[in-house]
Amino acid sequence: MTRLTGKRTLVTGGTSGIGLETARQFLAEGARVAVTGTNPATIEAARAELGPDVLVIRADAGDAAGQTAVADAVARVFGGLDAVFVNAGVADFRPLDQWDEAGFDRSVAVNLKGPLFLVRALLPILANPASIVLNTSINAHIGMPNSSVYALTKAGLLSLARSLSGELIGRGIRVNAVSPGPIATPLHHKFGLSEADRAAMAAGILGQIPAGRFGDPSEIAKAVVFLASDESAFTVGGELIIDGGMSTL
């Protein structure tokens, strides 16, 4: 496929899960690709898999000031950007009485503050036309127990997509969102749960999905490819919900 031929692209959190699969599909569609990540092990694994032509940047998605360094690195190598998938995020699920200020601040920094300051830092190098896709979540729409902080950050990110779509379209920059439901990625192994508790959590979630399964990262990546490509040139401020029907219950 050649839908992204010649396009310069950036995928944050592109060294694992949905981000890594999106980077793969961007490459398959002919794009030049840069990815960011924080984990040295996944960074090296992604570098080995994606190949020497992919720009791999170590960056903390929650460090507002550090987003300028990401933009500078991309500018040095690519000169500019045509599409950005703002994907890096943290999923911290806790009962309300177990939240503390440090955990709250970290979730807000990674899922909301970092993305805003990344987009700000990238503005000078975004082409006209360009596409920005924000990875939000079905949790922005549903009341799932223990998801209070995660849901509010993703709802804020979805609101940001709508607001920026109106603010930036005059510069030729389209902003849209994807809102995945439960996806089978390594993210679920970062909740700090035992194997038994993780299995119980997965079974409980599965029972809420009419499609009867978790989504595959490729199903999100394909939607992002569409929104990054010229095929979606008239899609502005939109949201693609990809949740197996979970939000219809």
Q: Exactly one of 22, 93, 150, 241 is catalytic; which is it?
A: 150
Half-sphere exposure for 39 (CA within 13 Å, toward CB): 13
> What is the reported pLDDT for 186?
61
Mean per-residue pLDDT, 216-224 = 98
Return the H-helix or E-strand segment holding 33: strand 32-37
Spatial distance between the Cα atoms of 239 and 56, rounded to a whole number of angstroms: 28
Mean per-residue pLDDT, 211-224 = 96
* Residue 242, pLDDT above cutoff 80: yes
User: Could you give the maximum distance between any two Cα atoms of the chain, in Å?
Assistant: 51
What are the start-end ranges of the H helices in 14-134?
17-28, 40-50, 67-78, 101-108, 114-122
158: Cα separation from own chain's centroid: 12
Query: Which domains are seen in the chain, by residue range?
Result: 8-248 (3.40.50.720)
Task: State percent of the chain over pLDDT 90.
Answer: 88
* Residue 90, pLDDT above cutoff 70: yes
Spatial distance between the Cα atoms of 18 and 218, rounded to a whole number of angstroms: 7
Q: Six-digit token pair at 123?
A: 């503005």
Listed residue (172, 248, 171, 185) closest to 215, CA to CA? 185
Query: What is the tens place of the pLDDT at every residue in 169-215?
Result: 999 999 999 999 999 876 545 455 567 766 777 788 888 999 999 99
Other Cβ atoms less than 10 A from the Cβ of 32: the count is 20
> What is the reported pLDDT for 193?
54
> What is the reported pLDDT for 191?
52
Query: Do the beta carbons of residue 152 and residue 170 sit within 8 Å?
Result: no
> What is the reported pLDDT for 194?
63
Query: What is the tens place of the pLDDT at every residue in 46-56?
Result: 999 999 999 99
Query: Do the beta carbons of residue 43 and residue 67 sit within 8 Å?
Result: no
Q: Six-digit token pair at 128?
A: 């006209």
Q: Mind spelling out the 3-state secondary structure of 156-210?
A: HHHHHHHHHHHHHHHHCEEEEEEEECCECCHHHHHCCCCHHHHHHHHHHHHCCCC
* Residue 1, pLDDT above cutoff 80: no
Mean per-residue pLDDT, 94-116 = 97
Spatial distance between the Cα atoms of 134 and 125, rounded to a whole number of angstroms: 18
> What is the reported pLDDT for 139?
96
Query: What is the tens place of the pLDDT at every residue in 107-143?
Result: 999 999 999 999 999 999 999 999 999 999 999 999 9
Is 247 among the residues known to form the active site? no
